[in-house]
Amino acid sequence: MLDIAKIRAISIDLDDTLWPIWPTIERAEKVLHDWLVDNAPMAAALFSNPGALRDIRNYMADQRPELKNDLSAVRRESIRLALYRAGENPLLAEQAFDVFFAERQRVTLFDDVLQSLEFLSARYPIVSLSNGNADVERVGLARFFRAAISAREFGVGKPDPRIFHAAAGAVDLTPAQLLHVGDDATLDALGALNAGMQAAWLNRNEAIWPHDPQPHLILSDLTELCDLLK
């Protein structure tokens, strides 16, 4: 059971917690492809199927495990490899990635998010905690967050306890004083439990909890959390 009295701050995941990630990625990949059509047509032809670009990204992630916590680097280097394989100039990778990344920051929030962040941030310091490469400043949500911690900048990702402890440290608290909220049962909820935090699993899709340790709270949306904390 959730112990509300212990909560002094909240950490919140980003992708698939505050917005659906795959529509965002699919749109960004289309914008990238359109840019390649104009600037690197051979690469655009070779990787005309979005699945082909995704395959080469997955290949790069497998080949460069040292980049596993930096999704931006994985994406940039996969574009570089695609350009090289197509006989295009690999130096175009930086520009191409910038086009992709700018579109990746254009997210469509779930309906409950803005009002919930307004409510929660008025009562608790909030830290964003993400394995992805969303930028809360560019997304337009920075005003709600006291700190933003990403696996790319920190060097390790969820469910490693160290990144959860970094979230607590960012607001000068112990892990036990934080409630972590996220959609991924393993990376977010179980990771938070193992790091000594209270954990709220945001289960928007009515999935089955897959682990033996139970989260302190299961939510279908963030409004339920706000109602509980009133």
Written as tens digits, the pLDDT of the chain (230 aa) is 899 999 999 999 999 999 999 999 999 999 999 999 999 999 999 888 878 888 998 999 899 999 988 999 999 999 999 999 999 999 999 999 999 999 999 999 999 999 999 999 999 999 999 999 999 999 999 999 999 999 999 999 999 999 999 999 999 999 999 999 999 999 999 999 999 999 999 999 999 999 999 999 999 999 999 999 99
CB 228: neighbour CB atoms within 10 A? 12
pTM: 0.92
How many structural domains is the chain composed of? 2
Maximum CA extent, the chain? 61
Question: What are the tokens at 185?
Answer: 């049962």
Q: What is the pLDDT of residue 53?
A: 81
Q: What is the pLDDT of residue 216?
A: 98
CA–CA gap between residue 155 and residue 33 (Å, rounded): 30
CA 209: distance to chain centroid? 20
Same domain, 179 and 68: no
CB-based contact 188:18 (threshold 8 Å): no
The range of the structural domain enclosing residue 142 comes to 4-19+108-229
Q: Are 165 and 70 within one domain?
A: no
Say if residue 169 is exposed, middle or buried (CB neighbours under 10 Å; 0-12, 13-18, 19+): middle
Q: Among residues 54, 69, 104, which one ends one of the domains?
A: 104
Residues 129 and 149 reside in one and the same domain: yes
